[in-house]
Structure 1
Amino acid sequence: MNRILLICNDVVGRNMAGPGIRYWEFARVLRRQFAVTLAVPPFLARQTPPSDEAWLRVCRTPAELRRLVADCDVVVTLGVVLLLYPFIAEANKPLVVDLYDPFLLEELQRKTPLPRLEQLTSYENYLQALRLGMRNGDFFLCAGEKQRDYWLGMLSGLGRVNPYTYQDDPSLRRLIDVVPFGLPEKPPQHTRPVLKGVVPSIQPDDRVILWGGGIWSWFDAPSLIEAMPRILKHRADVKLFFMGTRRPNQPAAQTEAVEQAINLSKRLGLHDTHIFFNDWVPYDERQNYLLEADVGVSLHLDYVETRFAFRTRLLDYLWAGLPIVATAGDVLGESLAAQGLATLVAPGDVEGVAQAILGALDDSAGEGERLRHARQAAERYRWDVVVQPLADFCAAPRFAPDRAYRLAVAGQGGGKWSQRLGRAWRAWRLGGARSLLTQMRDYIRWKMR
């Protein structure tokens, strides 16, 4: 039985954001076939609560993490982990790099308010992390086909789409494949009241608009908040609930986007009467909030991050069979709209948001049909279904076919002349004197252009 080490770049526990949820579910599904360890690296150890799960290891020191790496057959990780612990990439283990989150694009927007030097420092660090992962990975995961095109472009620029990887598989699926975010196998079950009749000012018969997940700078919470007075002109029984304002790995801090949203709700006189901000919802309780809501909303602005993102909160709405109102532009929202499961609005269209929500709240006649279609669509995103490309790799792990080539190229990195000598030696080794002369001729022709 192959030993799989999953190294998350976020907190794993009762309160989790996207990466923690993804790796928790990876572990749950892969444990059916493999010996799985889910590791939280040292830089997150203090924020991660203790666990009774024997397969979850919170590493307090790099030495602990190094021992886990030495004792596995496959490593799966994401984000900045390789940059912080480069021995993982040097461990001579098949390495799966998870690219489901286009974090470089997120950080460009997140750091926009900061001074330019801080922006550049953050950008360069994240770019270095991304390059390190893409140069060393043997297999890559992404969240969707459009995102796969984005990553293939970067892989091409870094020399990973080459004769070795192409001839191994002209489709390049053996290099990078789609493993989106997923959903539980079973429909959600309501276990206790959490919103209606529980949160002060939310009555048992109120209609609840739900903002699932956090409020990040690339989302457009202000348009939803500004739509509330327009909605309340038509219906006084509508409340808006934001599920998360304090990320599990930063519980003491609120983001600037959260502060702006709260301040806007106060200026409108709706804070804690019609608009509510929750710290965070435990992962095993989110179904209660979803099932008490009446419409799920996800809004964003027209940023490049949107084009390549995969809005995981939309999957939760789908799982619960909620009517969905979303901004046009992201892949999952467009797909759900094409199936009649979401209503799309233009970025920043406050009136459009208000009308779409009112329409969703009034559409009780089509509820049964929508629920049936939502359940069918949700089946395609079950974790045990979407994880299959990763499970296939773990069952037959391999180094990428260009590994020796990459190591040889890396060994040429001392400067231009050492690179030229390395290429000359490779030409001689692969084709003798004729190949070397041909390469010299081509080089001279290129220089004379």
Structure 2
Amino acid sequence: MAPSDATAVLILSMDSIGARMAGPGIRCWELARVLSTTCRVTLAAPTQGDLSPAGWRVVPLTLSAASEIDPLLADADVVVAPSFLLADYPQLAAVDIPWVADAYVPASSETLASNQLADLPTRLARHNADTALLNRVLASADFVLCASERQRDLYLGLMASLGRLNPYTYDDDPTLRRLIDVVPFGLPSEPPVRTRPVLKGVHPAVAPEDKVLLWGGGIWDWFDPLTLIEAVDRVVRQRDDVRLFFPGPRAPFRRRVPTMAMHQRAVDLSDRLGLTDRYVIFGEWLPVEERANYLLEADIGVSTHPAGIEARYAFRTRLLDYLWAGLPMVVSEGDALADLVRERDLGLVVPPGDACALADALLSLLLEDDPRGSRRAQFEAVAASLTWERCAAPLVAFCQQPRRAADRLAGYDVGAPLEQLTAYYEGWRVMRAFKALKGWQERLLGVFRR
């Protein structure tokens, strides 16, 4: 328990917290837990039932009235909120306490992929709104969190164009780590423990000796479960003991994350190939406390996505679950964690959209004598480097000594550089036109002198 004079930190969540949580809710919960050892923490979020965590306070949010957070802001020394929440609580951009914007989900690339099935006017409207929101976040936050160095480079580019890379922020810290730093999704410091069987010998379609492929999260529109299902169709022609399990195809907080079209497309393909309820199983979102049982019972973790810019800046939280459980994996190349899988021999990496290569990789890993045991040392080393306590260190340091960004503290208007550039450009155009006229004047005078 933090002392009574410790920093008062308000964490806002756009995801529900409770027995069944998705990645954003888990992230807020874990950051609250880590921060509560040195700060007085209030976690405000849509809630599932009564929650009484030890060490911090939980306050329910409706996400429907901007004014509902005003009393919480009045009692806080610093506020931590996902970048998306600026749309619900616009006062965050002008709040008089330091604001930490959690931008670990790269909205600029993810929403391009998630909206691709909509009609063009809808896509453009959503894109313009998302871009305006992200620009507002990056222009006004005192400290920005991202999930990887790739994401940080992306955001630094955006922030440079908005004027946030300026003499004030540079003099404060030439590395800009005091303005934006990496706080990835983390792992529990304790290894998972299996408490009961959940699939093998329990589910009617899964025999005790079967091999389970685990898709460790939702079926979102920016993933590619279709290639995986096609690969499984190839695999089961060679061995009948393989089962693909989707434990949470739809998000638990459907008010904010509705069922996506890709979910039905996956079900339809599985049905068409005759795999559903025999080789491919669609379940429901797992309670958090059951997650370890499924991870430890599975034989291979899988994650597949199409090629694209979304993958480059993604940080797949489901792969972190595989890391925590020491679960060998087969994943699509293209994102930062796929690079880690390849570099540390945590499984196999395949080209996106290649069902043949994916099937071959699955069969290869299944043929190994002990794929999990042979990689135990690598998994343990990686997991130890990604505990929540390690990952959250930059945020903990900030909250222990919260500060306004140097340019915001100085009253620097980040909109001014754009206006100055426009004025300079307009002035340059006038001067160029004047020089052109002067050139023509000299040529005409030369003609007359002849």
TM-score, with structure 2 as normaliser: 0.89
Report the alpha carbon displacement of residue 104 of structure 1 after superposing the two structures with TM.
2.5
The counterpart of 2:333, out of the listed 318, 328, 341, is 328
CA distance in 2, matches of 1:404, 1:38: 26
State the distance in 1 between where 2:133 and 2:369 align. Answer: 48
The alignment's C-alpha RMSD in Å is: 2.2
Partner of 1:297: 302
Q: Is contact 1:83–1:132 with CA below 8 Å preserved after alignment?
A: no
Q: By how many angstroms is 1:120 displaced?
A: 1.9
Maintained 8 Å contact 1:48/1:58: no
Do the aligned partners of 1:66 and 1:88 also contact (CA within 8 Å) in 2? no
Give the 5 Å matches for 1:247-326.
Answer: 247-250=251-254, 253-326=258-331
1:232 to 226, 229, 236: 236
Q: Is the Cα contact below 8 Å between 2:164 and 2:414 reproduced in 1?
A: no
Q: What is the percentage of aligned positions where both structures have the same residue?
A: 44
Letter in 2 for 1:184: P
- Are the equivalent residues in 2 in contact too, given 1:333–1:342 (CA < 8 A)? no
| Farther off after superposition, 160-169 or 75-84 | 75-84
Q: 1:404 to 1:355 in 2, by over 3 A?
A: same
Check conservation: 1:95, 1:137, Cα contact below 8 A.
yes
Aligned partners of 2:224, 2:118: CA distance in 1, in Å? 19
1:86-97 maps to which residues of 2 (within 5 A)? 86-97=90-101
Structure 2 partner of 1:160? 164
- Counterpart of 1:51 in structure 2 is 51
Paired AA for residue 135 in structure 1 = A
Give the distance between the partners of 2:325 and 2:93, measured in 1 at CA: 40
Structure 1 residue 63: Cα displacement: 3.5
**How do residues 165-184 of structure 1 correspond to structure 2 at under 5 angstroms?**
165-184=169-188
| Alpha-carbon offset, residue 192 of structure 1 | 1.7
| Separation in 2, partners of 1:91, 1:442 | 34
Tell me, yes or no, if the aligned pair for 2:179 and 2:405 is still in contact at 8 Å.
yes
Cα 1:446/1:398, change in 2 over 3 Å: farther
Question: For 1:59 and 1:312, how far apart are their aligned partners in 2?
Answer: 24
The 8 Å contact of residues 212 and 242 in structure 1, kept in 2 or not, is answered as: yes
Aligned partners of 1:70 and 1:91 also within 8 Å: no
Q: Distance in 2 between matches of 1:102 and 1:89?
A: 19
**Aligned partner of 2:70 among 46, 66, 69:** 66
2:103 is aligned to 99
Q: Is the 8 A contact 1:74 1:397 kept in 2?
A: yes
* Rounded Cα–Cα distance in structure 2 between residues aligned with 1:325 and 1:447: 59
Partners of 1:108 and 1:169 in 2: CA distance: 33
CA distance in 1, matches of 2:151, 2:211: 35
Counterpart Cα distance in 1 of 2:258 and 2:205: 26
Q: What's the secondary structure of 1:239's corresponding residue?
A: strand
1:119 paired with 2:123, answer: yes
Which has the larger displacement, 274-283 or 389-398?
274-283
Counterpart Cα distance in 2 of 1:244 and 1:313: 11
Offset of residue 245 of structure 1: 1.4
Shift of 1:249: 1.6
Q: 2:447 aligns to what?
A: none
1:445 offset after TM fit, Å? Answer: 5.4
Higher Cα Rg, which structure: 2
What residue is the counterpart of 2:376 in the other structure? 371
> Residue 125 of structure 2: SS of its match in structure 1?
helix
Paired amino acid for 1:82: L
Q: Choose which of 209, 213, 223 in structure 1 pairs with 2:213.
A: 209
Match of 1:220 in 2: 224
Identify which range, 10-19 or 324-333, moves more after superposition.
10-19
Q: Check conservation: 1:327, 1:347, Cα contact below 8 A.
A: yes
The one of 239, 245, 255 aligned to 2:249? 245
Residue 431 (structure 2) aligns with: 448
Secondary structure of 2:262's aligned partner: helix
Conserved 8 A contact 1:294-1:322: yes
2: distance between equivalents of 1:323 and 1:408? Answer: 50
Alignment of 1:333-352 (within 5 A): 333-352=338-357
| Whole-angstrom CA distance in 2 between matches of 1:266 and 1:448 | 68
Output the CA distance in 1 between the equivalents of 2:24 and 2:216: 15
TM-score, with structure 1 as normaliser: 0.89
1:132 and 1:442 map into 2 onto residues whose CA distance is 24
Query: Cα distance, 1:378 vs. partner?
Result: 0.5
In structure 2, the partner of 1:13 is: 18
Are the equivalent residues in 1 in contact too, given 2:66–2:90 (CA < 8 A)?
no
Secondary structure of the 1:276 match is: strand
Q: Paired residue for 2:396?
A: 391
Task: Flag the 1:269–1:17 CA change in 2: closer, same or farther, 3 A.
Answer: same
Using the TM superposition, give the Cα deviation of residue 182 of structure 1 relative to its aligned residue in structure 2, in angstroms: 0.5
Give the distance between the partners of 2:241 and 2:235, measured in 1 at CA: 10
2:113 to 84, 109, 125: 109
More displaced stretch, 322-331 vs 102-111: 102-111
Secondary structure at the aligned position of 1:384 is classed as helix
1:79 corresponds to: 83
Q: What amino acid is aligned across from residue 59 of structure 1 in structure 2?
A: L
CA contact (8 A) 1:39 1:57 kept: yes
Per-residue CA deviation, residues 32-72 of structure 1 (Å, 9 max, x unaligned), is 111001112xxxx4x74443346111124443311001110
Q: Give the CA deviation at 1:113.
A: 1.4
CA distance in 1, matches of 2:386, 2:397: 17
1:446 Cα deviation from its structure 2 partner: 6.8
Single out whichever of 60-69 and 305-314 deviates more from structure 2.
60-69
